[in-house]
Structure 1
């Protein structure tokens, strides 16, 4: 149950209640003391209270009075824990009281320091709610209203100061909420808060005047008149005179009351199927503020940006429409006096307003219109431009009076649309109205301008207004992606994805007119929402074409030439290239580009830090400009563009694609092919597959049209470079298409080189698809055509590819023969073909030497290959060379060096995404991390390889990845899981390196499980297959495992003789883990002989060697033997047990992956039990 709180109300006449029942506190002083304490946010001292309440009493008496008063308070209220005393300080228990002034302080004080409180714009809704909540606590205009205390001047002063703060807070709340609602156009709510403010201060002239404005603007004319009458009486009672502007307000309102019912409320220009108005909320708020403040507002923005639509939306959404006068200027009316104003005035000024005008003014305006402006002699300006038209002063005054009548009951919204085309006479009249402060009192003048037109007279007017700081400005910018997405969704009823929004933004520049017209055109062509991705492929609507042509027709000659050149160059273009194309230089080019920018065609490229380029604002406009060019002019400009780029961007491959495009469009195919090949190389270096395919594809397409027109070497280059790139991407189908076309071109031109190249490439594509018979046929035919023709590089390539295919078929001896034959034929020169051939040949020879148990030879080859790969332009060659170097280092036992090579080259491999060599590099990393005991990284990389290679289940990399996963669980003695992976390897039904090695390792596990018959059968099969495939390394280790695991199958002498021979060969070859056998075999032999001391020394030597090489799993094998051979308390055994704990703790830090965490925990528990068992 909640503890009841004492409720104290101070914002008005004080009240005290407890559980909604009044609390009687008899003495006035006691009540005042309680109210004072309740109003404090912080504890107060006894001395402060005594000085306030008993200023003239001696301290001792004052303190006695305070104690008695506090005691009476506790008794009267009945709450013993109401007042807390801590030393000299007193305060009310916050758990037992609720005070309205404190609550108001909590709500309002933080807002007072907010910048939002000192702006005139709309407030956030949460602030409005908080201010209202705080104000609602106020029950009267005075703090502690009606409270007095005799002989306590200090208390009275405190109460007066607090009341001033209370009053200020309330006034500030009212003031800000009035601004908030007026800026949002909610005049009814503004009137409610003005009423609250006037209740605080009935004679506040600004609030009263604002209330009259709101009454008038909401059409409540009679209420406004009645309120002014009430104010007259109020001022008479005070013997004061009502301010003159209030009296004038009443006089005008009575005189013009009838006009209110005849003012138009519709926007003068209506559009069929008008699109929805979206966004621009901030600009609408600024317009609301401007209308309430009165004055002059400038709205700027390019043509079609939505200036008129913004004003219309603002007008039609006003709860109480202002009086409206809408004038639009036209370019052709620029030289016709008053053209901007006369027709709109005739159409929009109502007869009732005209009749309310003084007869003399009415006659003056009528005569001027019919007899001066439209007289037989016409009207000319009597003075030079920019000077006030003094001879028209009477006419101007009459017009001013007419507008005053129009704005007598509602503010006037005077809109000058396309004001940059306004004639000088109209500008003079507007200037007259501004000088006579008409808009400061009666409404808002909104001037809409676009940069497409130049009007010095209007500029001068705006500058004068701006200098006096009386000009507000709104600049409309293009719609952003979010707003464009809303447009598309509103029109098509489908959410636009990011790609579509980006395309729409590129085409239209976010200009609402272009956006609406393009979307409408799509609707009219019955393009469904599912086909929106084709936006931009549609021809531009005629409305946009007319607009763009109109803008182009107004351009200077140099500007038009620069525009055509820029359009041909593309969406983004460089100034110096346009200069080279057009011959326009210096100031003339600057002027031309400035005009194009002013007209909205182009804008500075903000992404170019050199500030040397522009971008077209709208791609649809650029397309229209290009459509205006004839075929001959297009060819001329594209050829000039290509030559200009070659001249201004020499030896810069980033521009090769643009150069190629321009040459091709101009019909210059030979230089186009050369540039497309350069573009393909550049795109490949930037890892852009799409751009690379596009560039090489264009080159080969051009060649195919007329192959006889191109040099054989160029065709070979195109097919070879693209074919190699596609092969690196594992794209066999594209490879097939490339080389098929190469073959066809070769046959058409009778080129043995191109025929052989095409056949060789088709053989490689067939090999990738495991179509070995077809692949062999292609390669043999390629070798036939390329033999004795002088094309040695391509012949060597065909021979090496045939060898690589044999490697893929697991025919390792035949593969080695073909590859070494190819290597012998290679001239070992530094040309690219020779270098690339050698890297490819040496790659597979290196792997074969590892398979054949010759890792030393493999490492020498790998080191040479890594050096050569840096010289090859094909960037994947470096990854290829270093992946094999890491592999050779690992199999030579230099595991840490292998990891270093991996780390240096892995990021490039990932960037290039050359699947095969990336997977090989990560395979090596997985094996190396497993060797070091980092299970998390080992699993991470091998799982990546496993997932990546799952699409190629017949390849060795996939099988090797499965095998290594088995190795991880075998190391953790999770034999069931390990057998599962090894069995998956066996089910591939191939005899290759990972399969044969998996059999020998699975046999070791079976022996550990005491399944000796199965283990012996499996290891003997492994030895047989290793001999069959010449896997000497696997065979030697398998034979050693057979001897060590099945000692009962041989005599001591045979064991010693055979192990000695095997050990010497393993060490000679420097096979991986050869150092394991160098210590393990002698130790095992000593154990067989019963020489425990020598055996223990051998296992200790093994443990130390494994610790030095970071081979944790073999170190565990040695530690197991050491612990098993020592007793509790033995130093050697103690050190071994400590080392086991260290190893387990180290591995645990890197065994968090969910796939292996549980298996490691079981492994750790088994070791802990083993160590404990051996200790006891």
Structure 2
């Protein structure tokens, strides 16, 4: 089924594929619109308060359930997700697209998306809270559009597109005529567009409005512009707009935030190695703690120049060199400019190295503590000096990038560790620290929490990435410093700033690290990015054509570079960066090679993903179907839906739609299943697919209490099966069991147990070993229970449960246990032995914990009935109360309310019993399941008043029901007649 898109910044409507559906004002529509705009999960309590703020809590929640049921039936509500305490409708909207355009500073796209104010003119019948919400949204979105429109108008004027700029500025003034800066731009654009007369008329309106509203005259500059237009002279041009300004605080943050413990440790150390990721703040930390200490920087590309950072420092401080005494000549050989005109004698080879180290140490001694930065690029001589300084007692701190340390640094680190030198690892900033950093930069007591969370998520708490992101946002005009605050056009309309985009500068840092790898290592890392996680040297060797030895070497390089950690990427941003840089043709080849190399080692869904990305849709399709089938068998229907969504582009629309409907049925999302199958276009369907669609519709109708509709659908199904029998199947074997099973189920619900048994009996001997066979076994057992033969039914349910457990089919286990409970109650009565019921209760409670499936509500109902049969009233009441409040199936809700009447009356909760009876009678109209009607009628005859009995008596029809229920009905009728002196 095509995905829906809501248009709320236009004439309110929904696009569903090619179809356009107008939004009609109703509470189900209001509910979906609100959820769509939120985009995230919303608590049921919040929705109930919004839609029925003046109603009691229980009534509001009941109204919400009713309207939620109606909302699910809307053809564009497929994406609605419902949980016990919250809802979500993750559907595309033009509001979200508008926010995303603002987030990437695409002013033109934002202007085009905002065709008219948010839900303008849309009626909100008797929902004042929602109407207030919509008004606030409208105002915020309109303000954001005005900002975007002004920026786009500036771009149009720069591109000499004056008529379009003029039209856009006039549109802004239509909503805010008193915006004088916009009016000035409009007057200039109107002159250049040849629209002087229209501009002057608008100016006169502005003058009048300004006088009436504010008692002011236009500013002098505005009057001069209007005068120029009257004289048909070119108006004075506006001063060039300065480029977006990056606040100085962002360019040079005033202080270090969030490193208090690290600073304390540095202050109390004599020698310490500090390491962390690039941009984590190593240099800033060193300079913050020791602002007067000299910083000796090692340079990338100069790793082969001995003592480079030391000599670079000394050259800039020749005038402060101390008297080196006998070591003067040793330094002079290395640094002749320190002693002009002095020619040192040749060095003694045996002592030259030691003397040189001593000379350098003495030259550096007056500087006090030394800071060595970027030691990953230090030459071996500098590292040797570092060790010498430590042994000599000189104070220093060294910093290096964690994953870029070479062999020479590793050797010196080992020696330093042996001498007691410790290391300090700088970790990314916490979210709270990023918020404190922003507070510091903005100059406010607290940083903006939502924006801080977004910045932390996007940059991983890396200070450099965070600052580069802020700079880019300022450069692009997305972020602005105004009035001592920072603002974006999203501030009033975003949920979490997720619309903002990471600037390319940050990604460049990642690409640089990858670029240092050798060609072979890069091939290995590219293949690893295609695999994702869990790659092995053998798999990567097959994918790259390299030997395993070369692959191992490449993996080692990548790990040293901080790209990989074992069989995964250090951070997914790294994997995405590598993967995104692989040429598309090469990427397809890699996916295909990896799929072949994995063979049967990987799950079907993994292989399907690789083949799909390789462009091999035929191979992907078969594997997607296999994966979906496997997940369904394992009871992982939710995962099956996720996989099905991904697989949809390789499946035919009708195939995907029917599959989705089947899985929704298994999940107990009956209204969604019905909507999904009804949304599948019959054109192009095979007879088998049409039969399958009818089968699903019948299942959904039954689950929704629409037995009459189910019976009609089964009649259509019989006709389709007759046509299938007549059609030449070319040797194809079509599994008819699902069709006969649904026909038997409809017969069961119509009270035709013998007909159901005749349909099922021939299927039991089939050799199939699948979840459907387990369902057939338990269904036949259920018909024997209805026919009063639990001794025959009981072993069939047990056999079915054993098969379903063996197959791991959770939803089938639930269906079997609900039948097993019913059978156990009858069997316990026949044998006068409570053990079958107790055994079935334990199995039923266990099955209820497997998850929420199509049969879960019926299982809970049967558990409640079984507890009541054993006299466990509180346990029965607990289950029935849950069903009355939460069941999606109206038939189950109806039965639950009816059973609660007797339970409340038994423990003298008279008021609750009366309310339960009212609820039961009210819910009768929501189902045409006759058993539910009889249940309510029995409770009404026993506990209702004459008006209620009169209301329910039309539901007493000449229709077959199970003997035990018929007996209970006869008894209730007799008691009612005796109580009222009536004759039957």
TM-score, normalised via structure 2 length: 0.61
What is the rounded CA distance, in whole Å, between the counterparts of 2:400 and 2:979 in structure 1? 104
Deviation at 1:287, TM superposition (A): 0.2
How many angstroms does 1:646 deviate by?
1.9
Supply the distance in 2 between the matched residues of 1:489 and 1:822 (Cα, whole angstroms): 73
Is 1:1026–1:1032's contact at 8 Å kept on the other side of the alignment?
Answer: no
Partner of 1:887: 822
Cα gap change, 1:904 to 1:276, in 2 (>3 Å): farther
Alignment of 1:792-803 (within 5 A): 797-798=738-739, 800-801=741-742
Match of 2:117 in 1: none
Matched, 1:1035 2:966: yes
Q: Is the 8 A contact 1:757 1:794 kept in 2?
A: no
Q: Tell me if 1:553 matches 2:494.
A: no
1:908 equivalenced with 2:823 (yes/no): no
1:569-580 matches, cutoff 5 A: 569-580=531-542
Q: Secondary structure at the match of 1:309?
A: helix
1:658 has 2:658 as partner: no
Q: CA offset at residue 329 of structure 1?
A: 0.8
Match of 2:721 in 1: 786
Q: 1:1045: how far off?
A: 8.5
- Structural mapping, 1:1099-1114, within 5 Å: none
Whether the 8 Å contact between 1:657 and 1:676 is mirrored in structure 2 is yes
Contact 1:743–1:754 under 8 Å retained in 2: no
Indicate whether 1:474 and 2:424 are aligned: yes
Residues in 1 aligned to 2:384 and 2:795: alpha-carbon distance in whole angstroms = 92
1:1025 aligns with 2:975: no
Tell me the distance in 2 between the aligned counterparts of 1:467 and 1:420.
20
Partner residue in 2 for 1:831: 768
Match 1:635 to one of 569, 588, 591: 588
Q: Which residue in the other structure is 1:928 paired with?
A: 866
Distance in 2 (alpha carbons) for counterparts of 1:732 and 1:972: 35
Task: Tell me the SS of whatever aligns to 2:306.
Answer: coil
Tell me the equivalent position of 2:530: 568
| 8 Å contact from structure 2 (residues 934, 956) kept in 1 | yes
Report the secondary structure of 1:945's partner residue. Answer: helix
Instruction: Name 1:288's counterpart in structure 2.
Output: 267
Distance 1:466 1:998, change over 3 A: closer
SS of 1:333's equivalent in the other structure is coil
In structure 2, relative to structure 1, the CA distance for the partners of 1:434 and 1:984 (3 Å cut) is: closer
- C-alpha distance in 1 between matches for 2:406 and 2:934: 89
In the other structure, the counterpart of 1:591 is 553
8 Å contact kept, 1:569–1:641? yes
Is the alpha carbon distance of 1:343 and 1:855 closer, same or farther for their aligned partners in structure 2, counting shifts above 3 Å?
same
CA distance in 2, matches of 1:299, 1:517: 23
How far does residue 568 in structure 1 lie from its aligned partner after superposition? 0.8
CA distance in 2, matches of 1:373, 1:774: 105
Determine the structure 2 residue equivalent to 1:325: 294
TM-score w.r.t. structure 1 length? 0.52
Please show how residues 841-990 of structure 1 align to structure 2 within 5 Å: 843=779, 862=797, 866=801, 869-870=804-805, 874-892=809-827, 893=829, 895-915=834-854, 917-949=855-887, 951-953=888-890, 955=891, 957-975=892-910, 977-987=912-922, 988=924
User: CA shift at 1:622, angstroms?
Assistant: 1.5
Instruction: Note closer, same or farther for the CA distance 1:1037–1:763 as it changes in structure 2 (3 Å cut).
Output: closer
Offset from partner CA, 1:584-604 (integer Å, 9 cap, x none): 455444332222111100113
Cα distance in structure 2, aligned partners of 1:491 and 1:686: 53
Task: Give the counterpart of 1:421 among 377, 391, 409.
Answer: 377
Deviations 1:660-689 (A, max 9, x none): 111100011122122222333444466655
The 3-state SS of whatever aligns with 1:474 is strand
Q: 1:332 is paired with a residue of what secondary structure? A: coil
Q: Distance in 1 between matches of 2:495 and 2:817?
A: 47
Q: Does 1:389 align with 2:353?
A: yes
Q: 1:448 aligns with which of 399, 403, 406?
A: 399
1:325–1:345 Cα contact (<8 Å) kept: no
> What residue number does 2:651 align with?
703
Change in CA separation of 1:944 and 1:288 when aligned onto 2, cut-off 3 Å: same
SS in 2 for 1:416: strand
State how far apart, in whole Å, the 1-side matches of 2:364 and 2:630 are.
69
Separation (CA, whole Å) in 1 of partners of 2:262 and 2:664: 54
Question: C-alpha separation between the residues in 1 aligned to 2:559 and 2:671?
Answer: 48
> How far has the Cα of 1:567 moved from its partner?
0.8
Counterparts of 1:688 and 1:314, CA distance in 2: 55
Q: In the alignment, what sits opposite 1:96?
A: none
Partner in structure 2 of residue 279 of structure 1 = 258
- Residue of structure 2 equivalent to 1:1161: none
Shift of residue 880, structure 1, vs aligned partner: 0.4
How far apart are 1:488 and its partner, in Å?
8.1
More helix by share: 1
- Given candidates 562, 567, 570, the residue that maps to 1:617 is 570
The answer to which structure, 1 or 2, has the higher relative contact order (CA under 8 A, 6+ apart) is: 2
- How big is each residue's C-alpha offset from its partner over 1:441-472, in whole Å with a ceiling of 9 and x where there is no partner? xxx21111235545555555544444333x23
Bigger-Rg structure (1/2): 1
1:508 and 1:618 in contact (8 A); partners too: no
358-367 or 516-525, larger mean C-alpha shift: 358-367
How far residue 755 of structure 1 moved from its aligned partner, in angstroms, is 3.0
Distance in 2, Cα, partners of 1:878 & 1:723: 20
| Contact 1:1003 1:1019 survives alignment (8 Å) | no
Give the direction of change, closer, same or farther, for the CA distance of 1:580–1:455 in structure 2 (3 Å limit).
closer
Preserved contact between residue 742 and residue 754 of structure 1 (Cα < 8 Å): no
Give distance in 2, aligned partners of 1:768 and 1:380.
100
Q: Distance in 2 between matches of 1:943 and 1:897?
A: 25
Change (3 A) 1:719 1:478: same
User: What is the CA deviation profile of residues 370-412 of structure 1, one whole-angstrom value per residue up to 9, with x for unaligned ones?
Assistant: 559999x9x999979xx9625647xx53x55554444xxxxx2
3-state SS, counterpart of residue 724 of structure 2: coil
What's the offset of the Cα at 1:562? 1.6
Distance in 1 between residues matched to 2:338 and 2:365, nearest whole Å: 24
Aligned to 2:283: 308
Q: CA deviation at 1:289?
A: 0.6
Residues 901 and 676 (structure 1), Cα distance of their counterparts in 2 relative to 1, 3 Å cut: same
Residues 762 and 638 from structure 1, CA distance in 2 versus in 1: closer, same or farther, beyond 3 angstroms? Answer: same
Q: Which runs of 5+ in 2 are unaligned?
A: 1-247, 479-487
Does residue 730 of structure 1 match 2:668?
yes
1:687-698 alignment runs, 5 A limit: 688-698=636-646
Deviation at 1:732, TM superposition (A): 4.2
Q: Give me the whole-angstrom Cα distance separating, in 2, the residues matched to 1:537 and 1:641.
A: 35
Cα distance 1:871–1:325, how it changes in 2: closer, same or farther (>3 A)?
closer
Alpha-carbon distance change, 991 to 923 in structure 1, aligned in 2, over 3 angstroms? closer
In the aligned structure 2, how far is the partner of 1:297 from the partner of 1:594?
27
SS at match of 1:959: helix
Q: Which residue of 1 aligns with 2:157?
A: none
Asked if 2 retains the 8 angstrom alpha-carbon contact of 1:879 and 1:909, the reply is yes
Match of 1:495 in 2: 449
- Secondary structure at 2:582 match in 1: coil
CA offsets, 1:913-971, max 9 Å, x none?
115x222222222233334443332222222222221x443x2x111111221121232
The residue number in structure 2 matching 1:241 is none
In 2: Cα distance, 1:1041 partner to 1:769 partner: 28
Look up the SS of the partner of 2:369 in the other structure: strand
Alignment partner, residue 184 of structure 1: none
**Is 1:344 matched up with 2:344?**
no
Q: Unpaired segments of 5 or more residues in structure 1?
A: 1-268, 317-322, 407-411, 605-613, 708-714, 1059-1176
